Amino acid sequence: MLNIILMGPPGAGKGTQAVDIAEHFHIPHISTGDMFREAIANKTPLGLQAKAIIDQGGLVPDSLTIDLVKDRLSKDDCANGYLLDGFPRTIPQAEALAELGPKIGRAVNLAVNISVPDEILVDRIAQRRVCPKCGASYHLVNRKPAKDGICDRCGSELIQRKDDNAESFKVRLENYNKQTSPLLDYYKKAGFLHEFNGNQAVETIRQEVFSLLEANQ
Ligand code: ADP
Ligand code: ZN
């Protein structure tokens, strides 16, 4: 069973790997960041609450985030595996997931962590462009789209995320170090943490992660 959580600092390449994993293993890609951005675009009550926090690089309150994931994970399409990208990000979120998962027969069994040194993350975030429609991610130098400004996968126009600026990034990295990195220990103790070096070619990381997932299918 592939009930996966994907972890790593902002800019580690989670989103890029997540899109490929979900496609190849036929499991839903559940990105809390994407869900919040969609809520913001649609101006839902959740989106209105989350917008300023996200733009500045902060974390959306646990209660809102946990409710969102509970609903999503309970949907039928998660019955045969799922890939959580960007959740959990705090210990209370991990605890909520540890309680919910077994209750609905969908306990996490793999935690994939992608790590990258801070100085590389700064560059990646500055050069990142994303597809607002399908979630694909590009780098203006290292991973250019075939056609400038256009998504290879779906043809939509690429954008720069509002929180991909130096100031917001600093806050995101601080939050990661303070609130999210303790989860590595948490999942190590639980016995299902798998670590990957994210400072390699996208394809290399993909191969390494795919072999882990193939062995656990
Ligand atoms: P990143 O590239 O930083 O990993 P994401 O797309 O995963 O970005 O998330 C973007 C933003 O959405 C975060 O900086 C945060 O404000 C909010 N967010 C996403 N997931 C969570 C979560 N699990 N808890 C709280 N806030 C979250
Ligand atoms: Zn796209």
Judge if the beta carbon of residue 36 lies within 6 A of ligand 1: yes
- What atom in ligand 1 is closest to the CA of residue 8? 4
Q: Are 77 and 28 in contact (CB under 8 A)?
A: yes
Which residues on adjacent β-strands are paired with residue 3? 82
Rounded CA gap, 32 and 15, in Å? 11
Place of tokens 């990195």: 181
Structure tokens at 90: 């705090």
Q: How does pLDDT run along the chain (217 residues), one tens digit per residue?
A: 999 999 999 999 999 999 999 999 999 999 999 999 999 999 999 999 999 999 999 999 999 999 999 999 999 999 999 999 999 999 999 999 999 999 999 999 999 999 999 989 999 999 999 999 888 899 999 899 999 999 999 999 999 999 999 999 999 999 999 999 999 999 999 999 999 999 999 999 999 999 999 999 9
The ligand whose atoms approach the alpha carbon of 170 most closely is: 1
Q: Would residue 178 show up in a list of annotated catalytic residues for this protein?
A: no
**Residue 196, Cβ neighbours under 10 Å: how many?**
21
Give distance in angstroms: CA of 160 to centre of ligand 1.
15
Mutate to test the pocket of ligand 1, among 125, 172, 180, 183 (most ligand atoms within 8 A of CB): 172
The catalytic residue among 37, 124, 129, 172 is: 172
Secondary structure (H, E, C), 22-41: HHHHCCCEEEHHHHHHHHHH
Judge if the beta carbon of residue 59 lies within 6 A of ligand 1: yes
